[in-house]
Chains A and B, each alone.
Chain A
């Protein structure tokens, strides 16, 4: 069936992208601390992308095929919700078993590539005690990042140097590259995230 010139899969992707994007309006980064984290289940195919990790190496999303991926959007000089999101990611990582860490990857994708070059991301990762075997911090060309942000439904608006409004999204992508859970808010509950991650691991 074709609708408005799209096939069913394209229409579904557009609808889901618009839905996640609508959460931008519901919970922008600034002031989001007043709102509880919203958890949503969805099915949104994530396209492959190539970015640069904290060590300056290319990072290809398609290489994670077969793993459950927890993706958070944040930037290092954020004075608002990002520290809470990254601290929650750290909590999740430290609660994964050694076996789970082999099947789960954590990603932090910057929303401020102007500031967040690999060296800055490496310092940030170190301050949070991130285990880099299973957690990568990604930056890259703004045009590439814009596509990634759009694919995940993350709105980004630069306000000043080192100050960006963005959707405080933490998502969980299944082993087939489909975004299945979206948490929008400052500090996703680690137990809920772990439960969702484990449900995806169990269904592989």
Chain B
């Protein structure tokens, strides 16, 4: 998901979604700050913006799958929280990946044996 954001969104929306990407200053209209705009929009509203575009923001529907658009939506929601940026996501992503491949009791350090192993 972070690669998708880096490829398609980062240049304008920036590392924390505040509209401070590398080309943001050159744009005729300043990109929005996700902390303000995304917070007050519903998921369908955000998805519509991603799929149909707005102003000079591209309409991504022809290029991306529904699954990618959903990933993009989640990333935008993620960045709309105060203090989040893409480096935070990279750590979070690794944690999620670890949880998927390593037993939860190992990750969380349970002292007790797992429920199903009890006599």
A115 touches which of B10, B22, B23, B62 (Cβ 8 Å): B62
Give the segment of A46-54, A100-108, A122-130 that binds chain B: A122-130
CB distance from A54 to the nearest CB of B (A): 14
Residue of A whose beta carbon sits closest to that of B23:
A33
The reply to whether the CB of A160 lies closer than 8 angstroms to some CB of chain B is yes
The reply to whether the CB of B12 lies closer than 8 angstroms to some CB of chain A is yes
| B residues in contact (CB < 8 Å) with A | 7-12, 22-23, 26-28, 52-60, 62-64
Secondary structure of the B contact surface, majority rule: loop
Are B23 and A127 within 8 A (Cβ)?
Answer: no
24 residue pairs of the A-B complex, CB under 8 angstroms, read A33-B22, A77-B58, A77-B59, A79-B7, A79-B10, A79-B12, A79-B58, A83-B27, A83-B56, A87-B27, A87-B28, A115-B63, A117-B62, A120-B62, A124-B59, A127-B53, A127-B54, A127-B55, A127-B56, A128-B56, A161-B63, A162-B62, A163-B63, A187-B26
B8 touches which of A79, A86, A128 (Cβ 8 Å): A79
Are B23 and A80 within 8 A (Cβ)?
Answer: yes
Contacts of A77 in B (CB 8 A): 8, 58-60, 62-63
CB distance from A15 to the nearest CB of B (A): 32
Contacts of B10 in A (CB 8 A): 79
CB distance from A8 to the nearest CB of B (A): 41
Are A76 and B59 within 8 A (Cβ)?
Answer: yes
Contacts of A162 in B (CB 8 A): 60, 62-64
Contacts of B60 in A (CB 8 A): 77, 162
The reply to whether the CB of A24 lies closer than 8 angstroms to some CB of chain B is no
Contacts of B53 in A (CB 8 A): 127
Residue of B whose beta carbon sits closest to that of A159:
B7
Contact indicator per residue, chain A 177-204, by CB within 8 Å of chain B (1) or not (0): 0000000001100000000000000000
Are B62 and A79 within 8 A (Cβ)?
Answer: no
7 extra interchain contacts, Cβ-Cβ under 8 A, other than A79-B11, A127-B53, A161-B64? A77-B58, A79-B58, A80-B11, A84-B27, A87-B27, A161-B63, A162-B63
